[in-house]
Amino acid sequence: MRKLLFIGTMLLGIAACSGSGSGSEIGALVNRGSENSPRYYMTLEAEDGDKTKKKVEFMIDKLIIKELKLNEAKIREICDDGIRYADWNVKFKPTYKSSETASLFYDKETKRIKAMMSGTAENAYGVPDNIYTFIPFNIKGKMIEDKDGLPEIY
């Protein structure tokens, strides 16, 4: 009986460790650099136009964390908005396929945070074309809107 309990505990421990690599990083802010030279990333799940799911990894500008002092929840909210509005300018939304990489950076000149998304979508002739979307946010992480209250996406 003790052997079975020991073996069961070991198998449970192995199973828990094997799943912690990628699954636990979804939505978490991760530093893949060092304390002196940080490289921040956050991976979130996105849905393409055809409803397939994929992971999108955001490279996060260290200034957003070190200078603007935005917390992990606010950064996740900005990244989620980036995914949500990535297909904003796409004419045939069901054909949109998001890239698996994106970035979140701080533009000191305009004092805006920008989510840069990329992907592909088909045009009216069925030819895939590259799509680049920039979604601006203020330094507190609130999406910039135009005079009509719509996101100011370009």
Domain definitions of the chain by residue range: 21-137
Residues 6 or more apart in contact with residue 75 via CB below 8 angstroms? 29, 42, 60, 64, 65, 104, 141
pLDDT confidence of residue 23:
45
| Amino acid 24: pLDDT | 53
CB distance 122 to 92 below 8 Å: yes
For residue range 57-111, what is the model confidence (pLDDT) as tens digits? 999 999 999 999 999 999 999 999 999 999 999 999 999 999 999 999 999 999 9
Total-model pTM: 0.82
Q: Is the pLDDT of residue 4 over 50?
A: no
Secondary structure (3-state) at 131: strand
Core vs surface per residue 87-119: b (16+ CB within 10 A) or e: bbebeeeebbbbbeebbbbbeeeeebbbbbbeb
